[in-house]
Amino acid sequence: MKKMVLALAASVAVMAVMVSCGGASASTNKIGMVTDSGTIDDKSFNQGTWEGIQKAGADFKLETKYLKPTGTTEADYVKEISNLYDAGYKFIVTPGFKFSGAIAAAQAKYKDAKFVIIDAAPVGPDGKSVVAPNTVAIFFAEQQAGFVAGVAAAVQIKTGSFGFVGGMEIPPVQKYNWGFQQGVAYANANYGTKITIKPENVIYQGSFSDVAAGQQIAAQLYDKGVKVIFAAAGGVGVGVINEAKARAAKGVWVVGVDVNQYADGTYADGKSVILTSAMKKIDLAAYDAIKDNLDGKFPGGQTLIFDATNGGIGIPETNPNLGDDAQKAVADVLAKIKSGGITVTAEQGSLIK
């Protein structure tokens, strides 16, 4: 009888371990996301992050889900993070600087969960940034992406006036602008182009959601003779693209941002007003973080930079509106950025006269 009791106890213990392991496996295989302001198909951060999560879900047979907050306060974001956690999603990805406070709170409260914050770092109420062991913060070298797109656009168009429309005047958007101007200046100095970017043609609208305002700003710039607008502005950028499509017959262009926006600029027979796009591989960042976790290599406590050296930035592999000269120039400058032959600064440079 004693042996039977011991055997039964051992069996129960084994089953308990199996149940425990099964629970851990389930949580590992459930990947959640909380969206920033805007929709899941915003052609920007939400969409790029979700596409990376979906690809990982398909490749590794994971359960994926996103929640959209009712507002954009820290409390709104924390609420949806909590909802995901309570539903068993203990690997949660969040895109954008607005999640800084929410992730700081969540990483402390849910120590058995893992968090990925893209383009930001956790910041506590004291204003200090601490990336906890269960969190990874991911940033991008937007200035490099802007530079490459600036070279591509300048070499393709050769002469004329360019403009920039940004959303909120925050570091990632500013770095796109500054890098773009450096790229145009580099093309002027090294490829014989003659492009100007006047100070009055660099505009920050102040939001990432006002489509109508973006279209109005674009109309004003195109009316002044601007040929190409680099739009790093989320929904505001959608307005810029809409205005360019309305004027496609006049030969105006847009440089897209974050993701390949070529399809968003199509207007007739598959033609597009998107000259190229300054991309940061948001989808790759989300995908890699998920894969690293599954491989037991989650880089918790670290701040990662995605740049030219690790394939984290660039322009689309296919650019129907760029000629061979522009494509070659892009390949050349990317190689030089990777080797250190070109340094693109993340600070404000002098405007091109």
Residue 205: count of CB within 10 angstroms of its CB: 24
pLDDT band at 117 (very low <50, low <70, confident <90, very high): very high
Question: Would 266 be classed as within a structural domain?
Answer: yes
Domain boundary among 97, 121, 140: 140
For residues 63 and 166, membership in a common domain is answered with no
For residues 201 and 321, membership in a common domain is answered with yes
Domain boundary among 95, 124, 140: 140
pLDDT in tens, 21-73: 333 344 569 999 999 987 888 777 898 999 999 999 999 999 999 999 999 99
Tell me the mean pLDDT in the region 317-328.
97
Q: At what angle do helices 324-339 and 171-190 cross, to 10 degrees?
A: 110
Q: Are 100 and 120 in contact (CB under 8 A)?
A: yes
Answer whether residue 335 shows pLDDT above 70. Answer: yes
Closest CA to 233 of 156, 180, 194, 309: 180
Q: What is the pLDDT of residue 110?
A: 98
Domain boundary among 118, 140, 162: 140
Question: Would 89 be classed as within a structural domain?
Answer: yes
The number of domains in the chain is 2
Tell me the mean pLDDT in the region 87-111.
97
For residues 107 and 164, membership in a common domain is answered with no
- The mean predicted confidence, pLDDT, of the chain is 91
Q: Are 228 and 153 in contact (CB under 8 A)?
A: yes
| Burial zone of 267 (CB within 10 Å; 0-12 exposed, 13-18 middle, 19+ buried) | middle
For residues 109 and 200, membership in a common domain is answered with no
For residues 101 and 18, membership in a common domain is answered with yes
Answer whether residue 8 shows pLDDT above 60. Answer: no
For residues 70 and 174, membership in a common domain is answered with no
Q: What is the pLDDT of residue 25?
A: 40
Answer whether residue 19 shows pLDDT above 50. Answer: no
Question: Would 105 be classed as within a structural domain?
Answer: yes
Tell me the mean pLDDT in the region 189-216.
96
For residues 265 and 330, membership in a common domain is answered with yes
For residue 225, the enclosing domain spans 142-281+313-339
Q: Say which CATH number the domain at 85 has.
A: 3.40.50.2300
For residues 196 and 96, membership in a common domain is answered with no
pLDDT in tens, 208-231: 889 999 999 999 999 999 999 999
For residues 207 and 269, membership in a common domain is answered with yes
Q: What is the pLDDT of residue 7?
A: 45
Question: Would 297 be classed as within a structural domain?
Answer: no
Question: Would 319 be classed as within a structural domain?
Answer: yes
Question: Would 40 be classed as within a structural domain?
Answer: yes
Closest CA to 234 of 148, 165, 153, 136: 165
Closest CA to 245 of 232, 258, 264, 261: 264
- How far apart CA 256 and CA 47 sit, in angstroms, is 14
Question: Would 287 be classed as within a structural domain?
Answer: no
The pTM for the full model equals: 0.85
For residues 322 and 203, membership in a common domain is answered with yes
Q: What is the pLDDT of residue 312?
A: 95
For residues 121 and 150, membership in a common domain is answered with no
Q: What is the pLDDT of residue 38?
A: 77
Answer whether residue 142 shows pLDDT above 90. Answer: yes
Q: Mind spelling out the 3-state secondary structure of the chain?
A: CHHHHHHHHHHHHHHHHHHHHHHHHHHHCEEEEECCCCCCCCCCHHHHHHHHHHHHHHHHCCEEEEECCCCCCHHHHHHHHHHHHHCCCCEEEEECHHHHHHHHHHHHHCCCCEEEEECCCCECCCCCECCCCCEEEEEECHHHHHHHHHHHHHHHHCEEEEEEEECCCCHHHHHHHHHHHHHHHHHHHHCCCEEEEEEEEEEECCCCCCHHHHHHHHHHHHHCCEEEEEEECCHHHHHHHHHHHHCHHHCCEEEEEECCCHHHHEEECCEECEEEEEEECHHHHHHHHHHHHHCCCCCCCCEEEECHHHCCEECCCCCCCCCHHHHHHHHHHHHHHHHCCCCCCCCCCCCCC
Q: Are 258 and 45 in contact (CB under 8 A)?
A: yes
Q: What is the pLDDT of residue 349?
A: 66
- How far apart CA 280 and CA 172 sit, in angstroms, is 11
pLDDT in tens, 256-302: 999 899 999 999 889 999 999 999 999 999 999 999 999 999 999 99
Question: Would 103 be classed as within a structural domain?
Answer: yes
For residues 220 and 328, membership in a common domain is answered with yes
